[in-house]
Amino acid sequence: QKEVEQNSGPLSVPEGAIASLNCTYSDRGSQSFFWYRQYSGKSPELIMFIYSNGDKEDGRFTAQLNKASQYVSLLIRDSQPSDSATYLCAVMRGKLIFGQGTELSVKP
């Protein structure tokens, strides 16, 4: 079992819809969680981090964390074609452990 698991996708949503990206992790002791966005051919960039159970909102992005279920998600409201990218979930365990990423495609 991988430490951080994501559905590789691609996840396709129409413009204006909510995109929901999911991630599970295996180490119950993990404390902090991150979402990176990576456009094709580019480097990852941090878009959200969350430490506590519940929701954290930043503009159109909401990160959700459920430590009991070892589950973290990223919601993107009013999805735009410019959101089309691969989204990497990462867990901090002394160092960042990344999932394989979920490819998101937002169709106009």
Closest to 61 (Cα-Cα) out of 93, 43, 37: 37
User: What is the Cα Rg of the chain in Å?
Assistant: 13
x-marked contacts with other proteins along 21-60 as a string, rule CB under 8 A? -----------x-x-------xxxxx--x-----------
Q: Looking at beta carbons only, is 19 or 50 nearer to other proteins?
A: 50
Please, what is the minimum distance in Å from the beta carbon of residue 40 to other proteins? 12
Phi and psi based region of residue 59 (left: phi greater than 0; alpha: psi -120 to 50; beta: remaining): left
Regarding 96 and contact with other proteins (CB under 8 A), the answer is yes
